[in-house]
C-alpha cells in the first residue's frame, strides 16, 4: 500500500448545512492530485478538515498510516502535511526571507538552520532576489511563490494548494505549474484545488470531483472530466470561465 492520505466517509455540517457528505478518496506519495467542483461545493471545507482548521463531523482522515482528524493544525503540519490559503496570508510587515524563516522553525531549532532553509526555498521558487524586501512589495504571482516557499520550508510530504493559480496570467501559471511538477518529482505529493480544466489536465494524474459536498467522480483526470455527469453538472457551467 502506497497511500499517503486516505479519507473515508468524511462529513462536515455547519448547523443545518451539510457542506461535505461521505467523502472518500486517497492520494499517493509524490502524485499531483486535483480536487475540482463548482463554487460552494465544499473544496475549501475539505482542505480545512484535512489540515486541521476544522474537525469533520464524522469519518476518518489517515495520513502516513496515522489518524489525523481532530489533531491541531500545527501537529498535522509537523507530521508533514501543510496547506496554502485561497486568500494568501503572508506577514506583510516582514521581509520575504523572514516569512519563510518562520515556517522553517517547524523543524529547525537554530537561526542559521532556518536561514539556510529559507534561502534554499526562495531560490527554488525564484524569489532569491527578493529575500530582503518587504512581503508587501510582491505582486500576486510572487506572493503565490512565497506561499509555496513557506509551505516547503516546513519539510512536507504533502502540500494542499487552494486555488494557487487563480488570477494569474497564462505565462505565470505555466511557470508555477513547472515548479509544482519539480516539487512532485522530489517526492512531495500535491493536492490542488483548481478551476481551470486545461491546467488540471496537464498537471494532475488523478482527480476527484466534489458537487454539493459529495464525490461525483474519482479517478484518472481524463476519465473524470469526460464523465457525462461531470460534464453536465460542472463543466458546462464553468466552461466559459475555465477556458478563457
Ligand atoms: N465556517 C462556515 N460556516 C458555515 N458555512 C460554511 C462555513 N464554511 C463554508 N461554509 C459553507 O459550506 C459550503 C462549502 O463551502 P466551501 O468549502 O468554501 O466551498 P468551495 O471552496 O468549494 O467553494 C458553502 O455552502 C459555504 O457557504
Ligand atoms: Mg474554496
Residue 68: helix, strand or coil by DSSP? Answer: coil
Report how far ligand 2's centroid is from the alpha carbon of 195 (Å): 10
Helices H, strands E: what count in the chain? 10, 10
Report how far ligand 2's centroid is from the alpha carbon of 37 (Å): 10
**Does 80 sit in the ligand 1 pocket, CB within 6 Å?**
no
Candidate from 12, 14, 193 with most ligand 1 atoms within 8 A of CB, to mutate: 14
**Does 45 sit in the ligand 1 pocket, CB within 6 Å?**
yes
DSSP letters along 112-136, please? Answer: HHHHHHHHHHHHHTT-GGGTTSBGG
Give the Å distances, CA to CA, from 175 to 10, 89, 106, 199, 227: 34, 21, 28, 12, 29
Which pTM was predicted? 0.92
Identify the structural domains of the chain with CATH numbers, from first to last.
3-80+156-242 (3.40.50.300), 91-155 (no CATH)
- Each residue's pLDDT expressed in tens, for the chain with a length of 244 residues: 579 999 999 999 999 999 999 999 999 999 999 999 999 999 999 999 999 999 999 999 999 999 999 999 999 999 999 998 766 677 888 999 999 999 999 888 899 999 999 999 999 999 999 999 999 999 999 999 999 999 999 999 999 999 999 999 999 999 999 999 999 999 999 999 998 999 999 999 999 999 999 999 999 999 999 999 898 876 665 544 444 3
**Does 37 sit in the ligand 1 pocket, CB within 6 Å?**
yes
Report how far ligand 2's centroid is from the alpha carbon of 23 (Å): 16
Amino acid at each position: 500500500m502506497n497511500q499517503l492520505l486516505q479519507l473515508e466517509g468524511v462529513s462536515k455540517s455547519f448547523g443545518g448545512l451539510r457542506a461535505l457528505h461521505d467523502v472518500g478518496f486517497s492520494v499517493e506519495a509524490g502524485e499531483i492530485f486535483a480536487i475540482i467542483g463548482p463554487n460552494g461545493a465544499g473544496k475549501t471545507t475539505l482542505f480545512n478538515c484535512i489540515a486541521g482548521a476544522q474537525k469533520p463531523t464524522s469519518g476518518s482522515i489517515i495520513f502516513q498510516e496515522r489518524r489525523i482528524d481532530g489533531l491541531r493544525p500545527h501537529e498535522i503540519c509537523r507530521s508533514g502535511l501543510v496547506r496554502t490559503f485561497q486568500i494568501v496570508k503572508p506577514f506583510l510587515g516582514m521581509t520575504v526571507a523572514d516569512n519563510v524563516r518562520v515556517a522553517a522553525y517547524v523543524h529547525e531549532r537554530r537561526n542559521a538552520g532556518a536561514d539556510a532553509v529559507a534561502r534554499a526555498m526562495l531560490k527554488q521558487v525564484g524569489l532569491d532576489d527578493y529575500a530582503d524586501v518587504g512581503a508587501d512589495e510582491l505582486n500576486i504571482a510572487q506572493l503565490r511563490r512565497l506561499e509555496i516557499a513557506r509551505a516547503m520550508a516546513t519539510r512536507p510530504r504533502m502540500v494542499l494548494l487552494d486555488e494557487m493559480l487563480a488570477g494569474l496570467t497564462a505565462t505565470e501559471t505555466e511557470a508555477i505549474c513547472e515548479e509544482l511538477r519539480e516539487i512532485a518529482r522530489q517526492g512531495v505529493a500535491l493536492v490542488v484545488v483548481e478551476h481551470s480544466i486545461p491546467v488540471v489536465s496537464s498537471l494532475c494524474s488523478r482527480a476527484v470531483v466534489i458537487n454539493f459536498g459529495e464525490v461525483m467522480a474519482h479517478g484518472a483526470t481524463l476519465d473524470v472530466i469526460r464523465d457525462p455527469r461531470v460534464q453536465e453538472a460542472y463543466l458546462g457551467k464553468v466552461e466559459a470561465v475555465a477556458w478563457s
